[in-house]
Structure 1
Amino acid sequence: MTQARTAPVAPVRDHRIDFYRGIALAMIFVNHIPGVLYERFTSRNFGFSDSAELFVFLAGFASAYAYGRPFLAGNPLVASIRALRRAGVLYLVHMALTMATIGLFVWAAMAFGEGALINHLGLGHLLTRTLDTLLGLATLGHQFGYVNILPMYMVLLVFLPALLLILRAFGARAMMAASVAFWIACGVWRLNMPNYPNPGGWFFNPFAWQVIFAAGLYCGLMKMEGKAAIAYRPWVFAAALAFLAYSLHVTVNALWHWQTSLPFHFLIKDIDKTFATLPRVLHLLALVYVFAYLPRFLPSLRVSRENPLAAMGRHSLPVFALGTMLSLSAQVVRFVREPGFLLDTALVGGGLLLQVALAAYLDWWRVASRKPRSQPAERMAAGTPAMPLGQAPARR
């Protein structure tokens, strides 16, 4: 019988995780304003993967601490319920963003006399198939463009207890092997969550993206145990750099036809986002490996808690929600105004500043809203004598 794994001692918080999550949030915000000048400088222009893969990987990493630790400590039911509750919170946030998106574009269409805005992001189905589309929105089958990553994250959290159960029974490697096997099956048989009322499946296919989430979970669990998911080896580091350079070459020079013409299954050669194909996953893992070991060469890359991007990463859900609405509002502005350098700078710079401000406020509120512990001296100063330990209060 396999012995249950014990929960590791919690290490000191690594603010680099929040920092990179903040970078992912910033790039998601910029990428959600298509055509904006600064979109050219985000990671998707320099490799196979983009900010979405990094965000999901780091979500898995954080889940190791939030849910993996109590699960392995002997509270699997409590940890599972917490994960499901978090999925419920994400559902509520997603529905709020969906309704806010509808309101924003309907208002903009009426205010600016631009009926074309109604067809933006797939909102036109509300007019042609109203009841079916409303049912699809409520059941997550119909998702608007740029408001479709949270449903995938919800499904991943529903999967999480199963991953942790495999981990507890058979070990971390078995968990990762099961995740990879499911990812391969998903690519071979084209498994996906169904759309409704439209045909097809989800743009962010959770059956495929779970392998990225599981990789982050695996790395987080190894870090909690004081181990490296993949130890530093000069040849591995060099190979990761070489793959990043190859990916950069293909992306910058638009050599997609050469990549996709290779005589392999699409899961191995294509740069497909829906099914999280191998080039995208390998690019992400190479990036993570290089940046994980880069501080040994560049000690200046240490990140403090006060870093604005780290603050954004600590409050990823509210910052993501705000960034989503700001990016959609920027899309409306660029639709009705002539885009240019000054407008793009104002939209991107102002949006990022608002997200940093929100993160700073949430950091402040987290401290300010804590109830101070009452000290005996303070009670005496207030005229209330401190009660000796174990003495019952007198009845009046």
Structure 2
Amino acid sequence: MKINATLPEKGRDLRLDLFRGVANWAIYLDHIPDNVVNWITTRNYGFSDAADLFVFISGYTASFVYARMMLERGFIVGATRLTKRVWQLYVAHVFLFVIYIVAIGYVALRYSDPEIISEFNLAGLAGDQAIETLRQGLLLKFKPVNLDVLPLYIVLMGLFPPVLWIMLRQPNLTMLASIALWLAARQFGWNLPGYPAGVWYFNPYCWQLLFVFGSWCALGGARKSMAIINAPATLYFCIFYMILALVMTMAAKFPDFGALFPSWLYGAFNPNDKTNLAPYRFLHFVVIVILVIRFVPKDWPGLEWKVFDPLVVCGQQSLAVFCVGVFLSFVGHFELMMSSGSLFAQIFVSLTGIAMMTCVAYYISWSKRQDKPLPKPAAAKIS
């Protein structure tokens, strides 16, 4: 079958690293309750947030990395490389899962605070069902609070090989099929079961849309849409929709402000349906993507500014930084619970956590460079 996708240009796109770093920092801040610093994250000013950005970039990066390999070396090689990445993600999740529940359990016992067990959805590990709960955790059905994103990423990457194969040949048809699955899942209530009850917080049938959308953009969808992206009418619509999203989000956060709007308008956007990726949420993220493509090109000189280096490095070491950030968010939450929770404490916890995540990213980058062989010395010239 003819290849209809446009492969991305070779070379690193620093925009992906930068915004993935932003997503990791924002996820860390958003996971700390009662923290004034998380007011700087995008979830407070629109319908979408860092999770949408993380999933989109994951789909974009997966296509950026594996599409050329699948074309040049065949489907089997591409699929096995993707499977290897899935295994790395799963191992990282298991390590994080174990360390996370042990840390929370230790804190609950050490400080005689059993409520923290329930707060982080670990009650099943304290009773007769502990073994079954652990088994379900390994099957990705049981997830403590804040450990929802990585299982979603594992599932989406695990199912990506055939999707990528089709995307390379029929990108628009694949994107339409993804939209159809999203709409059907919302209409018929499809989701994966959770344990001990309920369903996945991030419905994979719906959130696959952002992952596939990222892949579609990477494989030529964005470039082929430049006429629409650069149209004046598109810019006006984007500005209007961003303002609408800001107003409706603020209306949900401040009840007195929300009461100023008709119930039909307020109810159309609130509460924000994150689990099933509400249409207005997806559209908000599409608008953000359009604005970034329009105003932050790949060759934007600002991407080389030193001030962005910490974010770029955190984005380049995304998996490790994400895992460290999830663990540190619990530590930060606990510290604020045990302290006064003052403004100074919130700022200190937030900045310290981000600094630690950044140090981990820089260390891993340095360590990887040490693994590379040194360049051979130039041969001495014989006179």
| Same topology, TM > 0.5 | yes
Whether the aligned pair in 2 keeps the contact of 1:269 and 1:278 (CA below 8 Å) is: no
Taking the aligned partners of 1:330 and 1:140, their CA distance within structure 2 comes to 25
CA contact (8 A) 2:203 2:275 kept: yes
Q: Corresponding residue for 1:70?
A: 69
Return closer, same or farther for 1:324/1:153 CA change in 2, 3 Å cut-off. Answer: same
Q: Distance in 1 between matches of 2:159 and 2:356?
A: 33
The two structures have a TM-score, normalised by structure 1, of 0.86
Unaligned runs of 5+ in 1: 263-267, 382-396
Listed one character per residue, the Cα deviations across residues 81-112 of structure 1 (whole Å, up to 9, x for unaligned) are: 11122111111111111111111111112222
Distance 2:67 2:281 in 1: 26
2 CA distance for matches of 1:52 and 1:8?
A: 26
Residues in 2 aligned to 1:149 and 1:353: alpha-carbon distance in whole angstroms: 22
Q: Structure 1 residues 285 and 9 mapped into 2: Cα distance closer, same or farther (>3 Å)?
A: closer
Aligned partners of 1:284, 1:292: CA distance in 2, in Å?
A: 12
Identify the structure with bigger relative contact order (alpha carbons < 8 Å, sequence gap 6+).
Answer: 2
SS of 2:249's partner is: helix
The equivalent of 2:255 in structure 1 is: none
Structure possessing the higher radius of gyration over alpha carbons:
1
Question: What is the deviation of 1:228?
Answer: 5.0
Gaps of 5+ in 2: 253-257
Q: Which amino acid aligns with 1:130?
A: A
SS of the equivalent of 2:200 reads: coil
Q: What are the superposed Cα offsets for residues 139-185 of structure 1, whole Å, 9 maximum, x if unpaired?
A: 1111011011110001101221121122234x210110111111111
> Partner of 1:60 in structure 2?
59
Q: Is the 8 A contact 1:259 1:270 kept in 2?
A: no
1:374 partnered with 2:373: no
Match of 1:243 in 2: 241
- Alpha-carbon distance in 2 for matches of 1:316, 1:181: 30
Cα-Cα RMSD: 2.6
Count how many residue pairs are aligned between Structure 1 and Structure 2. 370
* Alpha-carbon distance in structure 2 between the residues aligned to 1:20 and 1:133: 35
SS in 2 for 1:274: coil
1:363 to 358, 362, 365: 365
- Overall identity of the aligned pairs, in %: 27
Q: Which residue of 2 aligns with 1:272?
A: 273
Separation in structure 2 between the aligned mates of residue 6 and residue 212 of structure 1, nearest angstrom: 18
* Structural mapping, 1:114-263, within 5 Å: 114-128=113-127, 129-169=129-169, 171-196=170-195, 198-222=196-220, 227-228=224-225, 231-254=229-252, 255=258, 257-259=263-265, 261-262=267-268
Name the SS of the counterpart of 1:122 in structure 2.
Answer: coil
Look up the match of 1:38: 37
Q: CA deviation at 1:300?
A: 6.6
Distance 2:168 2:36 in 1: 48
* Equivalence for 1:329: 331
Q: Which of residues 346, 353, 356 in structure 2 aligns to 1:354?
A: 356
| TM-score, scaled relative to structure 2 | 0.89
